[in-house]
Amino acid sequence: MTESKNLSISELQQQATAGDTQAQFALGLYYSTKIEEDLSFERAEGWEFKGKLFGDWLADDLDIETDIDPKILSAFDAAKDNQELNDETAFNWFKQAADKDHIMSQYAVARCYYEGKGTEQSDSLAFRWAEKASHQEFGEAFGLLGDLYREGRGVEQDDKSALGCYEKAANAGVNSARSKRIKMLLTNKGISDYSKYRSEIDKIIENIEKKFESNIDDFHQYMSENYPILPHGIEDYEEELSEKYIGQQRKLFQILVQRCNYFRSAEDDANQLNKLSQENESLKIKMQKLVEQFTHTLGNVIFPDTIYQVAERLKNNPDCRKDVLLLHEAYHSEIIIKLQGELLRQRYANTNPEKFRQLIRSCRRTSNSSDKTKTIEDILDYAVSRVTARFLNQHYAGLNSIRDKILVKLNVSLDVLKQKFEDDILLNKSMKPIEWVSQNLRPIQVAQVDPLWNKVFILSESHAEALLFGYFSEILFNAFKYADHDKDAFLTLDFAETTLNDKTYLTCSWENPVQQKPPTMLGTGKGLDAIQEDLKQLDDTVSPAKSLLISQQSDQFKVTLFIKQDLLYKELTSPEDLNLFL
């Protein structure tokens, strides 16, 4: 060791005034420090402000006379029984040095702002100055940044960033940061990947468990040296602890071990969940490929244009009139099937729901469009026509019993009703399908059609038409199957509009009487669930109240579709749409 001359405070002030940053920093320490006369410098490591300000900066293994700057040693020597304590003066000296990038002064300024010592308390300025000091890799600065992140002071609360800062401080030898880091690990704070720390946490637990087997003094010394800030006041131990406190501490540690075991279990659960997620993703990809293959095959085997061409060749032959009409029905059916296949691909083979929405929006037209269009009434009529044909011609036990019950009530045979439907709807087109069903099967009442629905025009033979046809057909067929046909009323439709969270929706409600059964007993699961998933994608929502809502009050079952206005309605905005020709 070499001897170094202590400087007086006046000498330090002269150097500090001349711009010596180390002297400015030393004066900051002097004016913020008082050391009792009977404490040596080596024993002063725990004094209050230095302990908070620099923590482990003056480590036990430092050679006091060679490793510590003489100006700082002089400041500490002069601080014994200091009568000139002045936090504001200390802060001003720290600030002068910090402005010249003196690393320890930058941290001192950060700590002063953090605690409001010598200056107005400011979390944001504490964060800013601690960050500056951290850029120069000052370990204590990382520790303070960890505190600020953990407490959400001067910066958004972020346990993950706090843990990262404590790790950097601990790596720089800051024991207090090491203890805080361990506390975060043992309480699962800031850990995004538990497996990264699992072996370390297991080792910590193992080391502490071993100390349980040793004597009390060794155990508490080990805990105080390694884990001084564990929760529940473990850091507040005294040299001589009562048996009661010892028992409490052991119990707290057992709770801590249980928590760590819980987090281990949580990690295992997360790994299992991740495995299931990967399997689900694999199945999803497989499903997408199957859908792609199905729609490709569908496109190769369905040729509606061929049916149309045959019908055109036969239409001038009076004897083939019925066949032509049936061919036209088959043509439209194949068009719908082909479009439904393409919709299936959009639903399940496309990962971007916005493309699905764009596909539907592309089918919107205005009343004066040159394209062939269909109104909601047209689409509904076609759905009623196809569902009625299915209801009259399809045979399986569940449907047969319902149909027979209706026929008995109407006192008409199935063959007579089939022929009448064919004549009135397919051949002569003398009645609208809804009107025909109301007169010959069960009454359908359209209670309301809001004006906005009357402004909806859909491109004929388009994806939007196929989509709505599918929805209407599913709900109507369910009504035939599950309605209470002993009641006089059958089905009431209501086409309205509503506003939810400043967004306009077109709504379509279908209400029919049912027997006193819960909705789950009405066989409405898969079909309506699929429609709901569609509408969640199209409406960009996860709420049933903004997609498809099922309700039942007493003996009335109701299904309401919610469709965002912009999906079906195209506003008249362009000069062409408004017929404003300049």
User: If you write DSSP's letter for every residue of 356-420 in order, what string do you get?
Assistant: HHHHHHTTEE-TT-SS-EEEHHHHHHHHHHHHHHHHHH---HHHHHHHHHHHHHHT--HHHHHHH
Neighbours of 290 (CB within 10 A): 12
Q: Please check the confidence at residue 23 and state whether its pLDDT lies above 80.
A: yes
Position 123 scores a pLDDT of 94
- Asked whether 367 and 457 are in contact (CB, 8 A), the reply is yes
Give the CB-side neighbour count of residue 435, counting CA atoms within 13 A.
7
Domains observed in the chain: 350-568 (3.30.565.10)
Whole-number Å distance between alpha carbons of 190 and 332: 60
- Over residues 337-380, the pLDDT tens digits come to 888 878 877 776 667 888 889 999 999 999 888 999 999 999 99
Q: Please, what is the Cα angle at 275 between 274 and 277, to 5 degrees?
A: 60
Instruction: Give the model's pLDDT for residue 4.
Output: 56
Chain mean position to CA 91:
46
pLDDT of residue 17: 93
Q: Which of 10-24, 106-120, 312-326 has the lowest mean pLDDT?
A: 312-326
Q: Return the top range by mean pLDDT from 261-270, 276-285, 310-319, 490-499.
A: 490-499
Residue 524: closest CA among 561, 497, 558, 492: 558
pLDDT, mean of residues 268-280? 71
Sequence length of the chain is 582
pLDDT band at residue 194 under the 50/70/90 scheme: low
Which pLDDT score is estimated for 130? 95
Question: In degrees rounded to 5, what are phi and psi of residue 307?
Answer: -65, -40
Q: Is the pTM of this model over 0.85?
A: no
Rounded average pLDDT over 117-133:
94
| Distance of alpha carbon 88 from alpha carbon 65, whole angstroms | 29
Q: Cβ distance 344 to 320 under 8 Å? A: no
Kindly tell me if the per-residue pLDDT of 57 is higher than 90: no
For the cut 70, the answer to whether the pLDDT of residue 524 exceeds it is: no
Whether residue 235 is predicted with pLDDT greater than 90 in this model: the reply is no
Confidence label for 49 from pLDDT (cuts 50, 70 and 90)? very low
Radius of gyration of the chain from its Cα atoms, rounded to whole angstroms: 41
Greatest CA span in the chain, whole angstroms? 126
Give whole-number Cα distances, 37 to 49, 343, 350, in Å: 17, 87, 78
pLDDT tens per residue, range 461-502: 999 999 999 999 999 999 998 899 999 999 999 999 999 888
pLDDT at 105: 93
Residue 441 neighbours by CB under 8 Å, 6+ apart: 388, 391, 406, 410, 417
- pLDDT value of position 34: 74
Closest by Cα among 341, 337, 412, 429 to 378: 429
CA distance 234 to 248: 10
CA distance 225 to 171: 17
Q: Give the integer Cα–Cα distance in Å for 458 and 188.
A: 56
**Three-state helix/strand/coil letters over 248-297:** HHHHHHHHHHHHHHHHHHHHHHHHHHHHHHHHHHHHHHHHHHHHHHHHHH
Question: Does residue 441 surpass a pLDDT of 90?
Answer: yes
More confident residue, 466 or 33: 466
Structure tokens at 522: 């009405």
Tokens of 413: 């045979």
Neighbours of 487 (CB within 10 A): 14
What ranges in 172-242 are assigned the alpha helix state H?
175-186, 194-212, 216-226
The predicted structure's pLDDT at residue 99: 94
pLDDT for position 567: 94
Identify the pLDDT of residue 335: 82
**Is 458 in a helix, a strand, or coil?**
strand
Hunting for tokens 């180390």 — which residue is that?
Answer: 22
The tens digit of pLDDT for each residue in 79-90 reads 877 788 899 999
3-state secondary structure 149-186: HHHCCCCCCCHHHHHHHHHHHHHCCCHHHHHHHHHHHH
Contact 365, 464 (CB under 8 A): no
Q: Rounded to an integer, what is the distance from CA 48 to the centroid of its chain? A: 46
Per-residue pLDDT at 53:
43
Query: Looking at the predicted structure, is the pLDDT value of residue 38 above 80?
Result: no
pLDDT tens digits, residue range 139-177? 999 999 999 999 999 999 999 999 999 999 999 888 888
- The rounded percent of the chain whose pLDDT value lies above 70 is 73
Q: Distance from first CA to last CA of the chain, Å, rounded?
A: 99
pLDDT for the residue 92: 94
Positions of E strands within 450-537: 457-459, 491-500, 503-513
